[in-house]
Amino acid sequence: MQEKPLQDNQVLTTLLERAGRRDRVAFEALYRTVAGKLFAVQLRILDDRSLAEETLQEAFLKIWERASSYERSAGAPLAWMIAIARNTAIDRLRSKEERLGKKSITETKTGEDILQFLADGARGADPLEAKALRHCLDGLETQARETVVLAYCYGFSREELAQRYARPIGTIKTWLHRSLKTLFQCLEGG
Amino acid sequence: MMDEATRMAAAEYVLGTLPAEEREHFAERMVREPNLAAAVAAMETRLAPLAASLPEEAPPPELWRKLAASLDEGGASAIPAAPASPSSGKGPAGGAQGAEIVSLRRRLAIWRGSALATGALAAGLALAVILRPDFFVPPPTQGEETDRYVAVVDAEGRQPAMVVTVDTAAGTVSVRSLSAQVPDDHSLELWYVGGGGAPRSIGVLEEREEAKTLRVGASELATIADAAIAVSVEPPGGSPTGTATGPVIYQGKLVPEPR
């Protein structure tokens, strides 16, 4: 059966707004619905289950606290919650000197699998937004695309990207800025 | 229009590559500058499909319990408890601790041949069943709140649009629609499927009705551990025949998780 993301959005929005009015049943339903997504996002970034469990709780506490300030104009509810989950995980990652002995991640990951998920028609993602993102990522050079995906999905820092591509950090920063500029120009251009 | 340096900082904040200290400063700036926060939110939305497309990973089942406990700690005095749903005497707060997932199975077998209105219904509707577990498991050691069981059917990634609460102590089933999707000219009928017998009607959620409490007989509750609850789409007022005539859109098997 065909997905109906708009309808799903409406349901998520309803749940989120009810959670904002301190409706615990709605919040629990919200948790049951999106926890798997948010956990997946954080797990990729942190590469550590117990740490991701902590940040998942932290993210949901923030969602509970901020639900009343969620506005439909701020974007789709899933994107809003994903941002909270990602930022929580990245804050945690950056508060560490290094990745808990998970150096191998910078050597092995390419992000190809994630681009494939996106290409497969992401379930849960807004199809129009997903299409635009796919199109604009495709417009980047291979390496530029890879740096964006690795940073976004695996939480690669500038240092880790520098290590990965054996380039100075300054070069990486320049790459990132160039890639992001092109990417957002494309995305905002529609 | 923000300057280029700010724009790049925003983009790198969203991407996650800002170094820790700059990241912290940027986050502080967002609190003071709503325009900046809005620009960041817009960028986050643009990139979100990359995260949304990741295959889901199930967090451990006990995580909700911990989360609910910290909600209680953090918000017991500052945040009023959630109002009980209009139909339910039992507020959610008392049972919020220790939810367990019950396995629910979506049933699509007789979905074919449905009318348009019910097609729209099926696309968005999923079912959550909340069960007070004191019926199934020995009473918890003293001092603990009783648990309840929650499940959200999200087969195919669908979202819940209805919460069904089975209160075995009170012998009630509360139905609450979260998105008011009972279609025009239809009712949703709830069925108790258990004990090997024919499904028995528990009650009907009328067109546009949002919430309702239905009574369940003691004999039915006695076998609830082996039972399922099904929801079918029926003509207004419910099935004229006493058995489901419309498509059964969901069937949830109520299986408590072993501890």
More confident site: B115 or B196: B196
Q: How many domains does chain A have?
A: 2
Task: Give the contacts of B239 (CB within 8 A, at least 6 positions apart).
Answer: B189, B201, B232, B245, B246
B44 contacts in A (CB within 8 Å)? 75, 79-80, 82-83, 86
pLDDT for the residue A100: 52
One domain, residues A82 and A115: no
B38 contacts in A (CB within 8 Å)? 74
pLDDT for the residue B236: 84
Nearest to B123 among A7, A61, A155 (CB): A7
pLDDT for the residue A17: 86
Q: How many residues does chain B have?
A: 259
A43 contacts in B (CB within 8 Å)? 57
Distance from CA of A57 to the nearest CA of B (A): 6
B101 contacts in A (CB within 8 Å)? 32
One domain, residues A93 and A7: yes
The last residue of one of the domains, among A83, A102, A121, is A102
Task: Give the contacts of B45 (CB within 8 A, at least 6 positions apart).
Answer: A75, A76, A79, A80, A83, A129
* A20-61 pLDDT, tens digit each: 988 887 788 788 888 999 999 999 999 899 999 999 999 999
More confident site: A145 or B200: A145
Buried-state track A59-81, b at ≥16 Cβ within 10 A, e below 16: bbbebbbebeebeeebbbbbbbb
pLDDT for the residue A154: 93
**What are the angstrom distances between the C-alpha of A135 and each of A139, A163, A190, B239?**
6, 28, 10, 50
More confident site: A41 or A74: A41
Cβ under 8 Å to B: A residues 161-180:
161, 176-177, 180
pLDDT for the residue B96: 28
Distance from CA of A116 to the nearest CA of B (A): 9
Task: Give the contacts of B136 (CB within 8 A, at least 6 positions apart).
Answer: B225, B256
pLDDT for the residue B106: 27
**Band of the pLDDT at B174, cuts 50, 70, 90?**
low
B247 touches B224 (CB < 8 A): no
**Can you tell me the distance from the alpha carbon of A63 to that of A89, in angstroms, rounded to the nearest whole number?**
14
Judged by a CB distance cut-off of 8 A, whether residue A12 touches chain B is yes
Residue with tokens 């109520």: B254
The last residue of one of the domains, among A43, A70, A102, is A102
One domain, residues A1 and A83: yes
* A117-147 pLDDT, tens digit each: 888 765 667 788 889 999 999 999 999 999 9
Task: Give the contacts of A36 (CB within 8 A, at least 6 positions apart).
Answer: B56, B57, B58, B59
Judged by a CB distance cut-off of 8 A, whether residue A71 touches chain B is no
One domain, residues A122 and A43: no
> Percentages helix, strand, coil for chain A, rounded to the nearest 5?
75, 0, 25
Per residue, what are the HEC states of chain B? CCCHHHHHHHHHHHHCCCCHHHHHHHHHHHHHCHHHHHHHHHHHHHHHHHHHCCCCCCCCCCHHHHHHHHHHHHHCCCCCCCCCCCCCCCCCHHHCCCCEECCCECCCHHHCCCCHHHHHHHHHCCEEEEECHHHCCCCCCCCCCCCCEEEECCHHHCCCCEEEEEECCCCEEEEEECCCCCCCCCEEEEEEECCCCCCEEEEEECCCCCEEEEECCHHHHHCHHHCEEEEEEECCCCCCCCCCCCCEEEEEECCCCCC
One domain, residues A181 and A112: yes
A82 contacts in B (CB within 8 Å)? 44, 48, 51-52
pLDDT for the residue B226: 64
pLDDT at A179 exceeding the cut of 90: yes
One domain, residues A97 and A128: no
Q: Tell me which residue of B74, B68, B73 sits closest to B99, measured CA to CA.
A: B68
One domain, residues A14 and A60: yes
CA angle B110–B171–B79, rounded 5-degree value? 100
**What are the angstrom distances between the C-alpha of B149 and each of A27, B45, B102?**
15, 33, 6
CA dihedral A119, A121, A122, A125 (to 10 degrees): 120
The last residue of one of the domains, among A102, A135, A167, is A102
pLDDT for the residue B1: 62
Nearest to A25 among B48, B92, B101 (CB): B92
Laid out side by side, the sheet with B211-215 consists of B100-101, B149-152, B127-131, B162-167, B172-177, B211-215
* A95-121 pLDDT, tens digit each: 875 565 455 556 667 788 888 888 876
More confident site: B114 or B214: B214
CATH number of the domain residue A183 falls in = 1.10.10.10
pLDDT for the residue B137: 30
* B46-92 pLDDT, tens digit each: 999 999 989 889 999 889 889 988 887 764 333 333 333 333 333 33
One domain, residues A61 and A10: yes
pLDDT > 70 in chain A, percent: 86
DSSP A96: S
Here the tokens at position A129 are 């937004």
* B207-227 pLDDT, tens digit each: 656 566 777 666 666 666 666
B154 contacts in A (CB within 8 Å)? 32-33
* B4-47 pLDDT, tens digit each: 999 999 999 999 999 999 999 999 999 999 999 999 999 999 99
Nearest to B46 among A129, A158, A177 (CB): A129
Distance from CA of B208 to the nearest CA of A (A): 16
**Can you tell me the distance from the alpha carbon of A97 to that of A99, in angstroms, rounded to the nearest whole number?**
7
Here the tokens at position B105 are 């199975």
* B116-144 pLDDT, tens digit each: 233 333 333 333 333 333 222 333 333 32
One domain, residues A5 and A96: yes
In a 10 Å sphere around its CB, with 0-12 CB exposed, 13-18 middle and 19+ buried, how is residue A142 labelled? exposed
CB atoms within 10 A of CB A144: 18
**Can you tell me the distance from the alpha carbon of A158 to that of B259, in angstroms, rounded to the nearest whole number?**
45
> What Rg value do the Cα atoms of chain A yield, rounded?
17
One domain, residues A4 and A90: yes
One domain, residues A14 and A68: yes
More confident site: B162 or A80: A80
Residue B138, phi then psi, degrees to nearest 5: -55, 150
B178 contacts in A (CB within 8 Å)? 11, 14-15, 18, 26, 29
Which residues constitute the domain of residue A173? 104-190
Task: Give the contacts of B163 (CB within 8 A, at least 6 positions apart).
Answer: A25, A29, B85, B128, B130, B174, B175, B176, B178
One domain, residues A128 and A47: no
CATH number of the domain residue A90 falls in = 1.10.1740.10
ipTM reported for the complex, 2 dp? 0.92
* Domain layout of chain B by residue ranges: 4-52, 77-253
DSSP A73: G
Distance from CA of B146 to the nearest CA of A (A): 16
